[in-house]
Amino acid sequence: MILVIDDSAANSIVLKFGLGERYNLKFANSPNFAADILTREQISAIIVNADMESSSGIYILRRIKNLQSVSKIHTIVIAANLGLARDECFNIPEVSFMNLYSSKEDVLMELSKYHLPEKTPEDAPEDENKKCILVVDDDEIALRTLLFQLSHDYTVITASSGQEAFEKMASRKPDAILLDVRMPGMDGITFFKKMKAIAEYREIPTIFQTGVADVETVCECISIGSDGYVIKPVQKNMIIDKIEEVLGKELSKKHILIIEPDNEICKILKNHLEEDFKVSIESSISFALYFLGKQAPDLIFLDDENPCSAYYKIRAKSINAPIILLSRMCNKRTILEKCISLGASGLVNNPYNKNEIMENIKFALDIP
């Protein structure tokens, strides 16, 4: 269990780094709340957002580190200004620092150094094989109605506000979202815009629900990039048809997993691929094997210091997806050619030209 000190789960660090996908999390935004969690839960690490809007994350950290039971729990402070954060954390034991602009892979790699317990299959929802739909609506009757209508075909999670929706998404990324337009506090359109600003959630299909059948509202929903809208009250067959429509668009894309430790190369490959394919990225073979335990991509790009060993480990997971090797160093050529002799589907050399990459993909997936 990781204690996250932040304004809320809807704030930047949980969403930016996808922590809820791999670890069980607890949240605190005050010294008293944090101390209460630390007395009730077995906390293995603490992550602090030094740039909280409503309070000082480092002030909270300093307060709880005075507790004897907390002083030895390793803490990662995430800050935009690392120099200032280090100065403010002077004399606080067991602290390391990461830049707010670090990649998701770097943060997860840092956490992996401390051998923290990850989520187990027992932590996952019972219907993990079903598509997951997040329903966001402040109307309790509407939530219950949709839960009843959809739960036979989907795993349904509900939230009564935008903030609660972000908290739920931190624990499980939904496959689609049904989002009410009119909600107090953070309305549906504001939530949608915030969600689309987060790369991790940008591609989630979103259907707006509104009880307001006016042209202006409908046009705004369409103009900001939603995948559709429905007018409440919604008939069961109508909402399921709309969900299947937006899921079908996403499912029609082939899924490519990139195993690559270099962030710049990841960016290059993602820019080449994300328009035509669903793209996932893992920074190491260990993270990739965790990913492959949950999902089976259509194709894998592999760059590893020991590509033969990585290749065997992937195949040992009974993953039969074609594997295309990425080569950055000439002295790896012999090893890479050995991997190809074992059954790898191709080899792409640096610099990674889009045309060469697409030709390899077409060959591996037998695309005309």
pLDDT at 122: 40
Please, are residues 348 and 340 in contact by the beta-carbon 8 Å criterion? no
Spans in the chain with pLDDT lower than 70 = 7-22, 53-55, 67-69, 114-129, 212-215, 249-252, 328-336, 368
- Between 333-342 and 307-316, two packed helices, what is the crossing angle to 10 degrees? 20
pLDDT at 333: 61
Please, are residues 2 and 24 in contact by the beta-carbon 8 Å criterion? yes
pLDDT at 41: 79
* d(C-alpha 158, C-alpha 106), whole Å: 31
- Between 285-292 and 307-316, two packed helices, what is the crossing angle to 10 degrees? 20
The owner of tokens 């200004």 is 81
Please, are residues 31 and 64 in contact by the beta-carbon 8 Å criterion? yes
DSSP letters of 308-353? HHHHHHHHHTT--S-EEEEE--GGGHHHHHHHHHHT--EEEESS--
Q: How do residues 299-317 score in pLDDT, each as one tens digit?
A: 999 987 787 888 889 988 8
The owner of tokens 């709340």 is 33
Give the H/E segment covering residue 209.
strand 206-210
Coil, helix or strand at residue 60:
helix
Q: How do residues 323-340 score in pLDDT, each as one tens digit?
A: 998 876 544 566 667 777
Among 287, 268, 272, 331, which Cα is nearest to 305's? 331
Query: With a threshold of 0.75, does the pTM exceed it?
Result: no
pLDDT at 178: 93
pLDDT at 322: 92
Cβ-based neighbours of 214, under 8 Å, separated by 6 or more: none
Full set of structural domains in the chain with CATH: 2-112 (3.40.50.2300), 124-251 (3.40.50.2300), 255-365 (3.40.50.2300)
